[in-house]
Amino acid sequence: MAKTDVLSLAILGMLAEQPLHGYQIRKRLGGELGPFRALSYGSLYPCLKRMLGAGLIAADESEADAVRAGGSKRSRIAYRLTEAGQARLADELASSGASSWDDETFDVRFSLFGKTDSATRLRILEGRRTRLAERLEEVAEGLARMRDRHDAYTAELQRHGLERVEREVEWLDKLIENERSAPRGTDHHTASAGDNN
Amino acid sequence: MAKTDVLSLAILGMLAEQPLHGYQIRKRLGGELGPFRALSYGSLYPCLKRMLGAGLIAADESEADAVRAGGSKRSRIAYRLTEAGQARLADELASSGASSWDDETFDVRFSLFGKTDSATRLRILEGRRTRLAERLEEVAEGLARMRDRHDAYTAELQRHGLERVEREVEWLDKLIENERSAPRGTDHHTASAGDNN
DNA sequence: ACCGCGATGTATCGCGGCGATACAACGCTC
DNA sequence: GAGCGTTGTATCGCCGCGATACATCGCGGT
């Protein structure tokens, strides 16, 4: 069973809206997921190649002008989901295993909540919450154990890290609450009015 | 001019206190920097090898029992700083360039503030603050621009990311204030009472 | 007395992400 | 019409990571 990595998932979700060029994929991912999760070409193109090989996406070559004398042709490649790709995306969106709330995965998964049904959303949010709560205890314990045979700055770093995770848990609590009280279904058509860049 | 990567820097700082085995280095780094910045063997040993090659550290082979019949000898390798390593560490600790407040570097750099003089600490904290403030504007701008031709969940993710960065800035402000009002010098001898594990 | 199991300890392999870099053509302004 | 920023595709080397293998030590259980 071929596993879908985070990067592929993000691309899958992105291409579900509309076909895009590699360049556009990169730019959008940089914009939507914030300055976090910037995507380098060194990851993008190999990943697209992998996905092509797996048959998840297809490449529509366009703008292929006649080959000039010894010249090249300004090739632009629009990638779109194949049916296999749509199926894989649907599969992935319906899943709510432990991998859904890993540090690296969660953000991307969350950004696709618009295409995810309410029950799955809730499971993922709760899983993430539990994971962070565990981490919370670990850090708190470690912080208590290091009490004062240690550098003040190191301790402060720990304390701050702890606070960060606490905020994260609060955020999740808010989201969970919200999800419970208003479990609206997957809303399609939320995105992509005619914006091109 | 050989550049010192973050990992090497962390190890340099760690070995400045006392010689350690690879295993111990990993465990400590996992504990001190929190569950963040966990260090895998796949990074550690190659890095140690690089540092050995660069002459920054030396390996003290110990517990080398007589080779039993066809047996191996339970080798344990204690790494310690060479003079070149100490010099490099001092160099690095005195520097306060832009690389000091990068995302990947800052935490490690901060954890070594106990060995850094007050002026340098302040420069780094301010540099970091500026960097985050820039990011703050970028995200805020991006968030405003995506106003409501976009998925609600994606927007929420952005909003939360923004909040996280804001908290980070507040934290830095607090630290800067503190540093300005009480610029105590580098305090040595803060760490390492007889704790062994 | 022995067994097993978890902690200590060193080491490598393949995968994949990243920064840098190269190349090319487009469109805009001065 | 020269320059320059943007769009666009692609690769290379470095290195971090998870998994894995191996070996020994020390402890508690039966």
Mutate to test the interface with A, among B102, B117, B143, B153 (most CBs of A within 10 A): B153
Q: Which residues have a Cβ under 8 Å from the Cβ of A169 and sit 6 or more positions away?
A: A129, A132, A133, A136
Task: Quote the pLDDT of residue B195.
Answer: 44
Task: Quote the pLDDT of residue B14.
Answer: 94
CATH T-level topology, domain B6-62+76-94: Arc Repressor Mutant, subunit A (1.10.10)
Nearest CA in chain A to B107: A157
Task: Quote the pLDDT of residue B137.
Answer: 87
Q: Is the CB of B181 under 7 A from strand D?
A: no
For residue range B2-61, what is the model confidence (pLDDT) as tens digits? 678 999 999 999 999 999 999 999 999 988 877 667 899 999 999 999 999 999 999 988
Nucleotide D30 C1' to residue A135 CA (A)? 37
B76 has which bridge partners?
A: B62
Q: What is the distance between the alpha carbons of residues A65 and A54, in angstroms, rounded to a whole number?
A: 29
- pLDDT beyond 80 at B193: no
For residue range A120-141, what is the model confidence (pLDDT) as tens digits? 999 999 999 999 999 898 888 8
Contact B133, B107 (CB under 8 A): no
Nearest to B114 among A36, A111, A151 (CB): A151
Q: Which CATH class is domain A6-62+76-98?
A: mainly alpha
Q: What is the dihedral of CA A67, A69, A71, A77, to 10 degrees?
A: 0
Nearest CA in chain A to B32: A154
Task: Quote the pLDDT of residue B66.
Answer: 42
- pLDDT beyond 70 at B197: no
- pLDDT beyond 50 at B67: no
Nearest to B112 by CA among B100, B102, B103, B128: B100
Task: Quote the pLDDT of residue A118.
Answer: 94
For residue range A104-124, what is the model confidence (pLDDT) as tens digits? 899 999 999 999 999 999 999
For residue range A134-191, what is the model confidence (pLDDT) as tens digits? 989 888 888 887 776 678 999 999 999 999 999 999 999 999 999 998 767 676 554 4
Task: Quote the pLDDT of residue B63.
Answer: 55
Record: contact A149-B192, CB cut-off 8 A: yes
Residues in chain B with CB shorter than 8 Å from the CB of A139 are 34-35
For residue range B70-125, what is the model confidence (pLDDT) as tens digits? 445 567 899 999 999 999 999 999 999 988 999 989 999 999 999 999 999 999 99
Three-state secondary-structure class, residue A9 = helix
Task: Quote the pLDDT of residue B43.
Answer: 96
Task: Quote the pLDDT of residue B30.
Answer: 86
Record: contact A157-B192, CB cut-off 8 A: no
Task: Quote the pLDDT of residue B191.
Answer: 46
- pLDDT beyond 70 at B152: yes
Contact A159, A129 (CB under 8 A): no
Q: Stretch B144-170: mean pLDDT, rounded?
A: 88
Q: How far is CA A93 from CA A9, A13, A40, A101, A183, in A?
A: 9, 9, 25, 13, 16
Task: Quote the pLDDT of residue B8.
Answer: 96
Nearest to B149 among A33, A112, A195 (CB): A195
Angle at the Cα of B24 from the Cα atoms of B22 and B26, rounded to 5 degrees: 70
Task: Quote the pLDDT of residue A120.
Answer: 95
Nucleotide C22 C1' to residue A42 CA (A)? 13
* Closest CA of chain B from A82, distance in Å: 23
Q: What is the distance between the alpha carbons of residues A99 and A6, in angstroms, rounded to a whole number?
A: 10
Average model confidence (pLDDT) across chain A: 86
Residues 43-102 of A with CB under 8 A from B: none
Length of chain A measured in residues: 197
Q: What is the distance between the alpha carbons of residues B188 and B17, in angstroms, rounded to a whole number?
A: 10
- Comparison of pLDDT for A99 and B63, the residue scoring more: A99
Record: contact A114-B157, CB cut-off 8 A: no
Task: Quote the pLDDT of residue A101.
Answer: 93
Residues in chain B with CB shorter than 8 Å from the CB of A164 are 164, 167
CB distance from A158 to chain B under 8 Å? yes
Nucleotide D25 C1' to residue B74 CA (A)? 10
- pLDDT beyond 70 at A72: no
What DSSP assignment string belongs to chain B? -PPPPHHHHHHHHHHHHS-EEHHHHHHHHHHHT-STT---HHHHHHHHHHHHHTTSEEEEEE--PPP-TT-----EEEEEE-HHHHHHHHHHHH---GGGGSHHHHHHHHHTGGGS-HHHHHHHHHHHHHHHHHHHHHHHHHHHHTTTSS-HHHHHHHHHHHHHHHHHHHHHHHHHHHHHH-------S-S-SS---
B20 has which bridge partners?
A: B79
- pLDDT beyond 80 at A33: no
Q: Which two tokens stand for residue B90?
A: 């001092």
Q: What is the distance between the alpha carbons of residues A108 and A110, in angstroms, rounded to a whole number?
A: 5
Task: Quote the pLDDT of residue B140.
Answer: 86
With cut-offs at 50, 70 and 90, classify the pLDDT of residue A14: very high
* Closest CA of chain B from A34, distance in Å: 6
Record: contact B111-A149, CB cut-off 8 A: no
Q: Which two tokens stand for residue B38?
A: 């966990």
Which ranges of chain A would DSSP assign to H, the alpha helix?
6-17, 22-32, 41-54, 83-94, 103-111, 118-145, 152-181
- pLDDT beyond 90 at B68: no
